[in-house]
Amino acid sequence: MRVLITGANGQLGGALQRTAPDWADINAIDVEDVDLTDSAMLTARLVVEAPDVIINAAAYTAVDKAESDEDTARAINSAAVATMVEAMAASGGRVVHVSTDYVFDGASAQPYTPLAERNPQSAYGRTKAEGEDHLRACDLLVRTAWVYEAGGANFVRTMIRLMNEREELGVVADQVGSPTWATGLARTIWALVEKGATGTFHHSDDGATSWHEFAVAIAEEAYALGLVKRIPRIKAITTADYPTPARRPAYSLLDCSTTRDLLGDQPVPWRTNLRLMLEEEAKLG
């Protein structure tokens, strides 16, 4: 099976390449290969590549910047998806698209199921929801949240840097969700593709936490591995204490039960995967 991965240099794109199964003949592209905001260029590249499946791991993920740059975010998160779907419709292939918990408003008190009503509260969330709407019944949508990977640009590595620079940190405690190790997400995507899954599925690591609790766990695990010199004081703050241009969901836990049922595997606790990621981070030096 010929598989084209977009967003090759991103956290998920890299994880997809590292975990690719033997049956996948993969090619991976990023911004230096094609401009996703240029529909004609993207279409031409897809004709040349002629994939059976596109795994679209590319996205405009600068959540706050998107508030003042929504047109660019829409071009990448929505219009490019439409172009991919059109190309695959013409060739008989299909699209696997990765989306986000930001399509939900965060007002729920229960984990969001794949069929839960969407109500995005930010430009990023709106453009990602629009991208979802271009998919056909034969395509696959995988939503995820709070993604991190060794060597990537993410909350975990930012926390480690700040913990080595400061004696005290303030981290938001009133936003709840579940972190997602990109390696585990990549393995789930490959398993869903192999199963021929269509429709909407969710994947994140198991368990609920806040950003503050996540930061405390990062400090403890990183200290044990020698990635931080000391455990700083980590102060719990509110969203109001740390205003940002984009509104974040206060609650964005994803219900992943249909994914686990289809694949027949067990959910992995988020702290277990955090430890595995940090062990990889330690090896990177």
Residue 129 phi/psi, 5-degree rounding, is -65, -40
Q: Where are the beta strands (DSSP E) in 82-153?
A: 94-100, 140-144, 147-148
pLDDT of 285 higher than 80: no
Tell me the β-bridge partners of 171. 236
pLDDT given at position 212: 98
**Domain locations in the chain?**
2-153+178-207+253-268
pLDDT given at position 125: 98
Q: How far is CA 82 from the centre of its chain?
A: 19
Instruction: For domain 2-153+178-207+253-268, say whether CATH 3.40.1080.10 is its number.
Output: no
The pTM score is 0.97
Is residue 112 part of the annotated active site? The answer reads no
Residue 92 phi/psi, 5-degree rounding, is 90, 10
Q: Which of 124, 223, 242, 251 is catalytic?
A: 124
Residue 142 phi/psi, 5-degree rounding, is -125, 115
- Residue 170 near residue 241 (C-beta atoms within 8 A): yes
Report the chain's terminal Cα–Cα distance, integer Å. 36
pLDDT given at position 86: 98
What rounded mean pLDDT belongs to the chain?
A: 97
Q: List pLDDT tens digits, range 214-273.
A: 999 999 999 999 999 999 999 999 999 999 999 999 999 999 999 999 999 999 999 999
Once rounded to an integer, what is the mean pLDDT over residues 85-113?
97
